[in-house]
């Protein structure tokens, strides 16, 4: 049975499967960087009321299946996820800027 989410004026079950790769598919998402990327993505999703249904961090790409409120456009969600996570990872791990 599908669990529908509700608010005062709507009922929904919107899910997106999002995949994005690192620049030139460099294998930089390993070790501490991968763990920190996972934590950052969880924080961003929690702040936007997005539920992560399933996800994985591979060395050169990230898969996420998310359940999103209908007010949040897919392009905006990807913009939030990629933009904020990239800035935070580059600030915390300066070696990522050299690639």
Going from N- to C-terminal start, the domains of the chain cover 8-98
Cα–Cα distance between 41 and 29 in angstroms, integer?
13
Q: State residue 99's pLDDT score.
A: 65
Each residue of 40-77: pLDDT tens digit? 999 999 999 999 999 999 999 999 999 999 999 999 99
Element (H, E) at 51: strand 51-57
pLDDT in tens, 11-28: 989 999 999 999 999 999
Instruction: Quickly name the fold that domain 8-98 has.
Output: Alpha-Beta Plaits (3.30.70)
**Residue 20: beta bridge partners?**
62
- With 90 as the cut, is the pLDDT of residue 97 above it? no
Question: Is the overall model pTM greater than 0.95, yes or no?
Answer: no
């Amino acid at each position: 049975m599908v669990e529908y989410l509700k608010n005062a004026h709507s009922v929904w079950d919107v899910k997106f499967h999002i995949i994005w790769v690192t620049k030139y598919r460099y294998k930089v998402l390993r070790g501490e960087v991968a763990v920190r990327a996972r934590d950052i993505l969880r924080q961003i999703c929690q702040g936007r009321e997005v539920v992560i249904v399933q996800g994985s961090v591979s060395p050169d790409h990230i898969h996420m299946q998310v359940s999103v409120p209908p007010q949040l456009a897919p392009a905006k969600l990807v913009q939030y996820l990629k933009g904020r996570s990239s800035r935070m990872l580059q600030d915390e791990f300066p070696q990522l800027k050299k690639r």
